[in-house]
Structure 1
Amino acid sequence: MSRVIPNMPGPFLDIFIPYWGDPGYMKLTIDSVLEQTNPNWRLTVVDDAYPDSTIENYVSSLADSRITFIKKKQNEGITASFRTSLQLAQQDLVCFVGCDDYLLPNYVEIVLQAHEEFPEADIIQPGVTVVDADGKPSKTLVDRVKQRLLRPRSSTPLLLSGEKLATSLLHGDWLYWPSLTFKTASVRKFDFRNEFPIIQDLALVVDMIVEGNSLLVVPEKCFAYRRHSDSASSVLILSGSRFEGERDYFALAAKLARSKGWRRAELAARLRLTSRAHALSLVPILLKTGDGGAFRTMVRHGLGA
């Protein structure tokens, strides 16, 4: 028998989890949705033809009318899963949660309250805590830079838009994509850029900003982002492939900023200082591995070539 949970008055959040990965992590992600203090959510699992029925069986065992499971016939990749998720969204708000991340119990409560107080915000970035592969608090250099140096500081919700926001993000991407909540109608006007599979999250947000959309930064922490070494972005970082993609994207971002007359944003895209500094910080590691190709790519990117 299906379990039906009474809804609270107000808007609803469509939560999508594109799934391909560790079933153990995925169960924790689903459980974190079930533990929300505000029940006004709908969850859809988009299984990208993962060769295992563990999660399908788990969702079925929950018998919760708010949860839908969709399994694709063949693997299409994360970008296609994002598109599928957005096409299926029916609520006013939507988010795309990573299948190894998890929501803190107050996530839905925080983003719905933020939407109520700032209905003009097209994107909501709530506070994020970073954890490692074992779920323990993590303090990597990347996250210290994001949270202490790049992210705008405010003890109250902060609404940002225009060139100031674009410049900030092009200096250094301080967003955590899986934690973002979007106005469904706003994000549907845009598409993911196939040519930038690793940095497509920043590409989509910048496209939205260029077209006049706004972002709300909420200080309260309500999302756990898992940082571990075997993620797709981490593997591509050490191969140098990520930075090649970043260089191409920042060249495009500079053109977009110039088309708006945003000189500071264009300069930030051309300098790409944080991206270059990140590359140079990895040079000592690559010297030890002996990967000459990746080493040359990293140095070239770091020096702005």
Structure 2
Amino acid sequence: MGSFDFMLPYYGDVGQMQDAVRSVLAQTDRDFRLVVIDDGGEPEVPGWFEGLGDPRVRYLRNERNLGITKNFQKCVELSEADHVVIMGCDDLLRPHYLETVRAILGAHPGIGMVQPGVEVIDGSGRVARGLTDAAKRWMFAPRVKGRALMAGEELAASVLRGNWLYFPSITWRGPALRRVNFRDGYSVLLDLALVVDLLEAGERMVIDGTTTVFQYRRHADSESSVQAVSGTRFTESERYFSAVAERMEARGWPRAARAARLRYGSRLHALRMLPGALGRGHRAGVRTLARHAFAAGRASGRG
């Protein structure tokens, strides 16, 4: 059923990247291409890929460091397939990921996005059950039994209220992804911005609650976590949510506009980060986090 690309933007831990690659190569459905775009400089990595000797694997190293957004954009530009996954370089696929997603695509021809079943693991690969993911599951994610189709304002309002998606696990319809791509200017919310842009373009999503096929790694020293403690990710959040609220209002999606102004999930995250910033004596971070957590409510009168 069409071609399939796994795109892997890489920077960071060599061992976890190698595990991610092995999990792709272990798929029961072997009809795919894996493209790794290396934004780092570890000397042993090119030789390791050469040693794989697998014609399905293409390895590229950037001549200079592009950073998160530009490297993700490059992944989209270099993708060619009907369907694309942009997985994290420390995440893992279950062996039946591709087999499961192909079945969903067969049942929903033309679908723009598939959010498959995900479990969260920590830095050591153990199943993790932290507050962030509990909030995603119980406060923001729709209650899905089996599989559900969502689109338009309904899904936009849902993810703007609290982003419960696991971006690296999502399968994207390739032509739509390449037409929209990631927005410039975002490093933490680039995934949410992409989903909302695709919804505005008329794409739909299937949420699968039947089978766990992806392991999403969450650990404290991730880029988003570091930015969260310093408060810088919330400066980006305020800029994005303010702009998207106006866009949703102009589109005639008042529930989505209100969700963007209230941004409950982002405010809850800021509250959760406050003790850490206080403990580290990060005064600027504390001010940014407190403003984001408590001042956003004043914008809720509209919509």
Shift of 1:265: 0.7
Aligned residues: 295
TM-score (normalizing by structure 2): 0.94
TM-score (normalizing by structure 1): 0.94
Matched ranges for 1:7-26 at <5 A: 10-26=1-17
Given that 1:37 and 1:108 are in contact with CA atoms closer than 8 Å, whether structure 2 keeps it comes out as: yes
1:293 is the counterpart of 2:284: yes
Task: Choose the corresponding residue for 2:189, options 155, 176, 199.
Answer: 199
Cα distance per residue 1:165-224 (max 9 Å; x no partner): 111011000111111110001111213222221101100110111121111101221111
50-59 vs 172-181, which moves further? 50-59
Equivalents in 1 of 2:274, 2:243: separation in Å? 26
Instruction: Return closer, same or farther for 1:287/1:54 CA change in 2, 3 Å cut-off.
Output: same
Given that 1:157 and 1:216 are in contact with CA atoms closer than 8 Å, whether structure 2 keeps it comes out as: yes
Shift of 1:22: 0.8
Cα distance per residue 1:19-62 (max 9 Å; x no partner): 111110011001001111111111011111x2223222122111
- Residue of structure 2 in register with 1:6 after alignment: none
Shift of 1:120: 2.7
Q: Which runs of 5+ in 1 are unaligned?
A: 1-9
Shift of 1:148: 2.6
Given that 1:13 and 1:112 are in contact with CA atoms closer than 8 Å, whether structure 2 keeps it comes out as: no
1:128 is the counterpart of 2:118: yes
1:30 is the counterpart of 2:21: yes
Equivalents in 2 of 1:88, 1:282: separation in Å? 36
Equivalents in 2 of 1:168, 1:279: separation in Å? 19
Q: Which letter does structure 2 place at the counterpart of 1:203? A: A
Equivalents in 1 of 2:259, 2:167: separation in Å? 20
Identity %: 39
Equivalents in 2 of 1:303, 1:212: separation in Å? 34
Equivalents in 2 of 1:201, 1:141: separation in Å? 21
Equivalents in 2 of 1:181, 1:133: separation in Å? 24
Matched ranges for 1:1-305 at <5 A: 10-48=1-39, 50-219=40-209, 220-305=211-296
Equivalents in 2 of 1:283, 1:85: separation in Å? 34
